[in-house]
């Protein structure tokens, strides 16, 4: 990564809370958070929030965004579009479809959702597709192609914070591909106690980091289920600065900007409990990186401090306190907005601006 003495070219300014748990709604009793977004064919902007019922059971909802004077101010709920009603999305004592990220991919004419299926062995990334945000077709869990050079099967590990780029890039093999970000979790104790932390060959930092993989465009055009078969795995970025000392993970779908790809991410500090528990001693803040337009494995710039950190009561107090968790970016009347989870309990919105001098 090239170092820079100038300020990062983008800023975040909080604009308020746009969704809170609905009184008397059993599906939201443990919070609304970490939304995806998308536009229906008629251009209407929707949130796809994670709705958490008692027992930490999550569903994906649909809610029309209310816009006043160009600013998102609230939502109108329109039900549930994905629930943990497949056997692999449920365990004996847990269930959930969590933290959706939705990328509209014009080449496919589809919204592509990555989500976390909280099933019998813990969290597993899965993919679903839709052309209208209402009806979703599951393509199944993500599968990682074997790479001898890594000396490791990435299918062994839980994986979260996955999201597709909206436009094709050139893969490491020179093939036009859809790139996808993910965040492997190297601690196998969560699956089989005693196995400990295992990392691929060449990985020197065991902290959870952002990786990138690829799906050839031709494969996905021939059969959209190819979106579940990822290959060309590469480390992209790990923790570097104090606000991300514990781990980092990808946020919204990368946004094409003049500098390259703008990737918002979360950085975490504190102490982790078991990976699947609702954490109480961590702090999540929003940072960002600029990735090279042609080769997104190249990080051109990144924030040394958070663009947004937990400061308001809505961000510091909740199911998981001290969380700012960006998951979606949308343009409204020429202005970019970021939607983010607040303390795993509510959904906030922040204005995303490019510095005038940038």
> CATH number for the domain including 181?
2.115.10.20
Task: Give 180-198 pLDDT, tens digit per residue.
Answer: 999 999 999 988 999 999 9
Task: Give 318-340 pLDDT, tens digit per residue.
Answer: 988 999 999 999 999 999 999 99
Domain membership of residue 169 as a residue range: 10-21+28-352
Question: What is the reported pLDDT for 5?
Answer: 45
Residue 155, domain member (yes or no): yes
Contact 111, 104 (CB under 8 A): yes
Residue 121, domain member (yes or no): yes
Contact 197, 186 (CB under 8 A): yes
Residue 298, domain member (yes or no): yes
Q: Is the pLDDT of residue 70 over 60?
A: yes
Q: Is the pLDDT of residue 129 over 80?
A: yes
Task: Give 205-221 pLDDT, tens digit per residue.
Answer: 999 999 999 999 999 99
Task: Give 220-251 pLDDT, tens digit per residue.
Answer: 999 999 999 999 999 999 999 999 999 999 99
Average pLDDT over residues 132-149: 98
Residue 358, domain member (yes or no): no
Computed over every residue of the chain, the mean pLDDT equals 95
Q: Is the pLDDT of residue 306 over 70?
A: yes
Number of domains in the chain: 1
Q: Is the pLDDT of residue 3 over 60?
A: no
Cα-flanking dihedrals φ and ψ of residue 63, to 5°? Answer: -145, 125
Residue 48, domain member (yes or no): yes
Residue 1, domain member (yes or no): no
Average pLDDT over residues 155-175: 97
Average pLDDT over residues 87-104: 97
Question: What is the reported pLDDT for 120?
Answer: 94
Provide the pLDDT confidence category of residue 111 given band limits of 50, 70 and 90. Answer: very high
Residue 2, domain member (yes or no): no
Task: Give 115-127 pLDDT, tens digit per residue.
Answer: 999 999 999 999 9
Contact 132, 41 (CB under 8 A): yes
Residue 5, domain member (yes or no): no
């Amino acid at each position: 990564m090239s170092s820079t003495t100038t300020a990062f070219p983008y800023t975040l300014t909080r604009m308020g809370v746009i969704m809170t748990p609905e009184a008397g709604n059993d599906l939201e009793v443990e919070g609304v958070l970490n939304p995806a977004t998308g536009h229906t064919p008629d251009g209407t902007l929707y949130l796809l929030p994670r709705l958490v019922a008692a027992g930490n059971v999550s569903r994906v909802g649909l809610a029309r965004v209310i816009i006043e004077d160009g600013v998102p101010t609230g939502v109108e709920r329109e039900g549930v579009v994905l629930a943990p009603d497949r056997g692999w999305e449920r365990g004996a004592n847990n269930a959930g479809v969590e933290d959706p990220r939705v990328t509209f991919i014009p080449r496919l004419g589809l919204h592509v959702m990555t989500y976390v299926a909280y099933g019998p062995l813990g969290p597993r990334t899965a993919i679903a597709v839709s052309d209208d945000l209402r009806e979703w077709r599951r393509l199944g869990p993500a599968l990682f192609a074997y790479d001898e050079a890594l000396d490791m099967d990435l299918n062994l590990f839980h994986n979260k914070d996955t999201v597709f780029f909206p436009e094709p890039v050139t893969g490491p093999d020179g093939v036009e591909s859809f790139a996808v970000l993910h965040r492997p979790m190297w601690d196998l104790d969560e699956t089989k106690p005693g196995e400990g932390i295992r990392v691929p060959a060449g990985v020197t930092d065991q902290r959870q980091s952002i990786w990138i993989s690829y799906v050839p465009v031709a494969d996905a055009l021939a059969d959209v289920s190819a979106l579940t078969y990822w290959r060309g795995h590469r480390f992209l970025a790990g923790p570097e600065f104090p606000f991300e000392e514990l781990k980092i993970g990808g946020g919204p779908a990368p946004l094409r900007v003049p500098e390259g790809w703008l990737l918002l991410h979360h950085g975490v500090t504190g102490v982790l409990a078991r990976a699947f528990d609702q954490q109480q001693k961590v702090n999540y803040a929003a940072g960002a990186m600029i990735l090279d337009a042609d080769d997104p494995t190249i990080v051109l710039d990144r924030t040394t401090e958070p663009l947004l950190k937990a400061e308001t009561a809505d961000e510091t107090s909740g199911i998981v306190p001290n969380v700012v968790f960006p998951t979606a970016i949308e343009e409204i009347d020429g202005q970019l907005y970021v939607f983010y989870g607040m303390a795993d309990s509510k959904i906030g919105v922040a204005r995303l601006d490019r510095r005038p001098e940038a």
